[in-house]
């Protein structure tokens, strides 16, 4: 066997091992990131479902409490802000997540104020259409919490994968950035109270 053949075979083996590592890292990172971004889509669609319920809710409340104009307008304005604030899954920076969270928290706060107003109108609380909307809203709030938790659970393995050594060396090279977890503002994890007991 020629002397130069052994070093060449060693170099080929090393090159193949590096190639296999890089391909394995890249494919796993893509799969994990895709799972996380799909979970983020569920978060946004859950929030969108909540936003879609609000016009009917506002109109129903308006039928019983039309003079509560300031509160109703506050909900409408907060909804508009929440629906225009979205995140491109390829650009999930801390700043973008904070802006999204702020908009959604604003809508949660406006809904909470609306619930306080509703307490003053027994006929509204007894309205069947209103009760159905409240049931849907409560279910949607639960969906939002589940979707946020699932997103965070999907982000965790991706972030671990790209931060571990030596994967972190390839992450920078291939452009895989850390994904931000969804972090609620203090108090925003408490859904607006929508459980009305008409027997009170």
90-143 residue pLDDT tens? 778 888 888 999 999 999 999 999 999 898 899 998 999 999 999 999 999 999
User: What digits encode the pLDDT tens for the residues 10-49?
Assistant: 899 999 999 999 999 999 999 999 999 999 999 999 999 9
Instruction: Output the average pLDDT for the chain.
Output: 87
Q: Is the dihedral of CA 119, 123, 129, 132 positive or negative?
A: positive
Total residue length of the chain: 200
User: What digits encode the pLDDT tens for the residues 43-67?
Assistant: 999 999 999 999 999 999 988 888 8
Rounded Cα distance between 93 and 174, Å, is: 18
Domain extent listing, the chain: 5-174
Nearest CA to 112 among 60, 172, 188? 188
List phi, psi (to 5°) of 164: -70, 145
CATH of 5-174, one of 1.10.645.10, 3.40.1280.10, 3.30.70.100, 1.20.1440.20: 1.20.1440.20
195 DSSP 8-state letter: -
- Asked if the model's pLDDT at residue 189 lies above 60, the reply is no
Residue 180's SS3 state is: coil
């Amino acid at each position: 066997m020629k002397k130069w053949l052994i070093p060449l075979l060693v170099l080929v083996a090393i090159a193949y091992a590096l190639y296999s590592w890089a391909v394995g890292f890249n494919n796993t990172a893509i799969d994990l990131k895709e799972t996380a971004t799909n979970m983020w889509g569920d978060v946004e669609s859950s929030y969108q479902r909540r936003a879609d319920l609000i016009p009917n809710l506002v109109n129903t409340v308006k039928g019983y409490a039309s003079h509560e104009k300031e509160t109703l307008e506050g909900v409408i304005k907060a909804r508009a802000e929440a629906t225009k604030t979205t995140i491109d899954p390829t650009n999930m920076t801390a700043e973008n997540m904070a802006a999204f969270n702020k908009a959604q928290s604003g809508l949660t706060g406006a809904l909470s104020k609306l619930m306080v107003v509703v307490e003053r109108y027994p006929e509204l609380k007894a309205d069947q259409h209103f009760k159905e909307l409240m049931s849907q809203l409560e279910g949607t709030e639960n969906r939002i919490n589940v979707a946020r938790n699932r997103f965070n659970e999907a982000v965790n393995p991706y972030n671990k994968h790209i931060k571990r050594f030596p994967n972190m060396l390839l992450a920078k090279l291939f452009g895989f950035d850390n994904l931000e977890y969804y972090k609620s503002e203090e108090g925003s994890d408490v859904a607006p109270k929508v459980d009305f007991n008409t027997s009170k």
